[in-house]
Amino acid sequence: MTRTRILKPIYTRRGTYQVFKRVGSTWVLIANGNNNTVPPEVRVTGSCIDDLHPYPYLTDGPLTINRKDLVPIYLNGETRIFPNNLGVLHYVSYKGYCASRSTNSSGVPTLPSPSNDYWITKALANLNLSRPVVDLPLFIFEFKDFPRMLKGLGQVLSGKIRPDSIPNGHLAYQFGWKPLFSDLMNLLNLADSIEDRKRLLMNAMKKGGTRVNRSLGSFDLARASYGDPFIWESPVANGPWTIAANVNWDGYEKAWYTARLSVNPNSLPSGNLETIAARAVLGLNLSASTLWNMLPWSWLIDYFTNVGDMLNSSRGYIPFQVKRLNVMVYQEYKRSLAKLPSHIEYGGGGGKVTRKNRVQSPAIARLAFKPFLTNGQLANLAALIMARALK
């Protein structure tokens, strides 16, 4: 059964304004205004669509929750005195007046479709009991670059800085020193990592398995902008805007999952649980994922596709089953104002549009393209381009 619920809409309040003109030595009220003649605009609206299953509720259903909340721009107080094109002085007095288009839905970006295949594959890679904490074969393979890293560090410390030192230094940190220190820290906590993996194995071998709930990370959505300007007020003919603003929407997408993880004790590799856990944590069972990460530029391909996650999900040292995989994706766009020359006090102007989407999936990894790059990935690409250009 599918159920749809609609959030009761909340409408904006309108407010009023008065226009005064200088006539001789006095100010004369020449106009009153409000937006009451305009159909009321919705500032908050939303819906929830979910599939319900009968008792005993062993299966979750799809769920989508949409919400839009636009905070109006309210104008209060008096503008500074200004002349129109004929030189006649005016000023405007506002009382809680809602600026035009500040709750207009035409300026709200459409959220993209959730990247479900991308997140599902990442969840399966995260659930794999054979995933390493420190991929020791890869660590040893990459350690061959350590002398070159030390040479580069020595050049910087000795002051021998060339034009390409800055982008090369950024890349050396991101792909050399940072993962090296991360692996060394994980090796220092190796005993705890092995114990955690052993405990997870023991729980997964229980009847019904164990429930896993983890975050999958996030990435930025493409910025949406509306300008020239998008929001404005000018109640005096041939007068300046009392308020004008462009609108930017910045957003992100994040995901998390829940699943039931189970292991058949009879299918485990030979050896005690601690040995099995240690081999998995250290990646001592050479896999296609390790070989992929050894290839040059594989990291760049993984920026745009999920090949690495697909290979990580297929590590097969410890057989396991994934049941009731639920992936929740949250998307959000938040509004901000830009290029806002104002002749009046104002408040509000924020707002956001959100979506929560839950999907159920069989435990099947799929090749998917990632639609957007994170700020860190963009910085790495910029440093790579700059380093190549300066050589």
- Among the residue ranges 48-57, 80-89, 151-160, the one predicted with the least confidence is 151-160
Distance of alpha carbon 242 from alpha carbon 32, whole angstroms = 16
Mean pLDDT of the 368-373 span? 79
SS3 call for 375: helix
% of residues, the chain, pLDDT over 70: 76
What is the tens place of the pLDDT at every residue in 243-270? 889 999 999 999 999 999 999 988 888 8
Residue from 118, 384, 380 nearest 253 by CA? 118
What is the tens place of the pLDDT at every residue in 317-349? 899 999 889 999 999 999 999 888 777 888 888
Distance of alpha carbon 67 from alpha carbon 352, whole angstroms = 8
What is the tens place of the pLDDT at every residue in 29-58? 998 887 665 445 566 777 777 665 555 555
Q: What is the pLDDT of residue 389?
A: 46
pTM of the model: 0.80
Q: What is the pLDDT of residue 72?
A: 85
Distance of alpha carbon 207 from alpha carbon 322, whole angstroms = 14
Residue from 66, 97, 99, 93 nearest 81 by CA? 93
User: Who wins on pLDDT, 384 or 44?
Assistant: 44
Domain boundaries in the chain? 2-390
